[in-house]
Amino acid sequence: MPRPRTHDPDLVLDAAEALAVESGPAAVTIRAVAAATGMSNGALYHTFGSRAELLGRTWIRAAHRFLALQAEMVAAAEGGVAAVLAAADAPAEFATRYPRSTDLFFRVRRDELLGDDLPDTLRHEITATQTTLVALMKTLARGLWDRADASAVDTVTLCLVDLPTAILLERDRLTNPVARHQLRAAVHAVLDIGPAPARHRP
């Protein structure tokens, strides 16, 4: 029988994350997490309220880790194209720093983790992560072209979401250095063309 450990939420989220990545979201039960951490079922319910909240918190932690790393990389860049390249490279760097969180965030289907019984407070937090990403895209678009209209943001989305997904994630090449160079080249090519002209309302 496992020895009881300190009631550290991160310890619990680590266990839930490992179970979800290694065995699928269905394997993340209160009983399984209790067995992995040495905590009681009651203590887990007291901390997280429900299995749905535990799964939600596990996903949100991974999302916050990724967004924080991406923001850190963008801040360290010199702005302009360098900032977009840094943001596009964030999934690969994330895989180096947080391999299990990477698998959870990018490879486990979100709808399998976040069910209809998710508390409203967590739904708001999940929406906030998307808002944070969109805000970053608008900031990058303004830095490049002094505009943040739909066409400009769409071009940045292509660089930060579509290209990394196609080149790194879908082909399981997050840790492949050649793939990261290919991603940089693809992002450069997209930015060289730039967005479609802004539409001016009459």
Measured distance CA(165)–CA(172) in Å, rounded:
9
Within 29-149, where are the H helices? 30-37, 41-48, 51-76, 80-97, 99-102, 110-113, 120-145
Per-residue pLDDT of 52-70, as tens digits, reads 999 999 999 999 999 999 9
Neighbours of 16 (CB within 10 A): 30
pLDDT score recorded for residue 143: 96
- Confidence band, pLDDT 50/70/90 cuts, at residue 121: confident
Higher pLDDT, 109 or 41: 41
Q: CA 122 from chain center: how many Å?
A: 16
Residues recorded for the chain: 202
Which residue type is seen at 176? N
Residue 115 pLDDT exceeds 90 = no
pTM score: 0.89
pLDDT at 83: 97
Domain 59-193, what architecture?
Orthogonal Bundle (1.10)
Give me the pLDDT at residue 2, please.
44
Q: Taking the domains of the chain in order of start, what are their residue ranges?
A: 59-193
Mean pLDDT of 160-178: 95
Share of the chain above pLDDT 90, in %: 75
| Portion of the chain with pLDDT greater than 70, in percent | 95
